[in-house]
């Protein structure tokens, strides 16, 4: 994929070499990092299109690197781990990873999965809308609809909803939401998120008899999650 760059973050040179060969054969520009701190620096300096991120690094856990990146970016992230423990996989996905591969793995499989992630990411950016059940959010026009009915939201309410729907099915902490909506300059009370969520619920679920198939649920001890109901 000419013009597309991938950052490979793993402290094993053999992993770098094997993955680089396959990615370069597909036309990718390949960037490297052996530590979590270096990965964050390269991400900031080079702005890659995709990240391959090992969960076990010499300084930071890959999950911590992923959390930090997710404060500012929706870049596709595929996580690697030597463990087959389902807990690692679930934690990786909960902190914002898009896919997960356990070692040993086929480099070709990693490249195939990466290309699928990029295609999906590009489609989401091109579409310029988010939809879950009856709820549609149009980021460019700042419009929200439930079915054909437009829902009027204040700016910060809209931005919180946009962030949640962009991470549908994932539990997002108050810190995540604050960083996404206000940025790192915010120094107020984190419970402002609770207030905005309460107002969002009031506006989205105003009709007591509405049979909607989505909800903003509280994930106790973590934060909030927008999810589709079965």
Question: What CATH code is carried by the domain that includes residue 222?
Answer: 1.10.10.10
In terms of residue numbers, what domain contains 97? 5-126
The pLDDT of 82-109, averaged and rounded, is: 75
Beta bridge partners of 149: 146
User: How many folded domains does the chain comprise?
Assistant: 2
What pLDDT sits at residue 183? 67
The pLDDT of 83-96, averaged and rounded, is: 65
pLDDT digits (tens, 9 = 90+) for 44-88: 999 899 999 998 899 998 889 988 888 778 788 998 887 655 656
What pLDDT sits at residue 17? 92
Shared-domain flag, residues 19 and 59:
yes
Is 185 a residue whose pLDDT tops 70? no
pLDDT digits (tens, 9 = 90+) for 21-42: 999 999 999 999 999 999 999 9
What pLDDT sits at residue 3? 78
Shared-domain flag, residues 90 and 47:
yes
Shared-domain flag, residues 25 and 87:
yes
SS3 for 109? helix
Shared-domain flag, residues 94 and 148:
no
Q: Which of 95, 126, 157 is the last residue of a domain?
A: 126
Radius of gyration of the chain measured on its C-alpha atoms: 19
Shared-domain flag, residues 34 and 65:
yes
Is 157 a residue whose pLDDT tops 80? yes
Shared-domain flag, residues 75 and 98:
yes
Cα gap 120→156, rounded to integer Å: 27
Shared-domain flag, residues 92 and 163:
no
Shared-domain flag, residues 134 and 219:
yes
pLDDT digits (tens, 9 = 90+) for 201-219: 998 988 655 678 999 999 9
Shared-domain flag, residues 43 and 60:
yes
The DSSP result for 19-67, as a single string, is: HHHHHHHTT-EEEEESSHHHHHHHHHHH--SEEEEESB-SSSBHHHHHH
Q: Which of 85, 110, 126 is the last residue of a domain?
A: 126
Shared-domain flag, residues 11 and 66:
yes
- Point out the least confidently predicted range of 5-9, 137-141, 144-148: 137-141
Those residues with Cβ within 8 angstroms of residue 60's Cβ, 6 or more apart along the chain or in another chain: 35, 36, 37
Helix spans in 101-206 (H): 107-127, 155-166, 174-181, 192-204
Cβ neighbours around 200 below 10 Å, total: 23
Cα gap 12→35, rounded to integer Å: 10
Q: Which of 80, 105, 126 is the last residue of a domain?
A: 126
What proportion of the chain, given as a percentage, has pLDDT over 70?
A: 87
pLDDT band at 110 (very low <50, low <70, confident <90, very high): very high
CATH classification at residue 84: 3.40.50.2300
């Amino acid at each position: 994929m000419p013009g597309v760059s991938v950052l490979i973050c793993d402290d094993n040179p053999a992993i770098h070499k094997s993955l680089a060969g396959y990615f370069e054969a597909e036309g990718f520009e390949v960037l490297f990092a052996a530590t979590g701190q270096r990965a964050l620096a390269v991400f900031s300096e080079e702005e890659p299109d995709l990240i391959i991120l090992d969960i076990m690094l010499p300084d930071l856990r890959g999950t911590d690197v992923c959390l930090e990146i997710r404060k500012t970016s929706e870049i596709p992230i595929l996580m690697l781990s030597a463990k087959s423990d389902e807990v690692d996989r679930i934690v990786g996905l909960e902190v914002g990873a898009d896919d997960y591969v356990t070692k040993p793995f086929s480099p070709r499989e990693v490249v195939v999965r990466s290309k699928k992630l990029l295609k999906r990411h590009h489609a989401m950016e091109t579409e310029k809308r988010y939809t879950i059940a009856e709820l549609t959010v149009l980021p460019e026009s700042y419009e929200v609809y439930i079915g054909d009915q437009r829902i009027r939201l204040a700016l910060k309410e809209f931005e919180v909803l946009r962030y949640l729907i962009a991470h549908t099915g994932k539990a997002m902490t108050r810190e995540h939401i604050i960083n996404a909506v206000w940025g790192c300059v915010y120094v107020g009370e984190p419970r402002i998120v609770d207030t905005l969520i309460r107002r969002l619920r009031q506006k989205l679920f105003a009709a007591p008899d509405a049979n909607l198939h989505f909800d903003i649920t509280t994930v106790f001890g973590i934060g909030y999650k927008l999810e589709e109901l079965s």
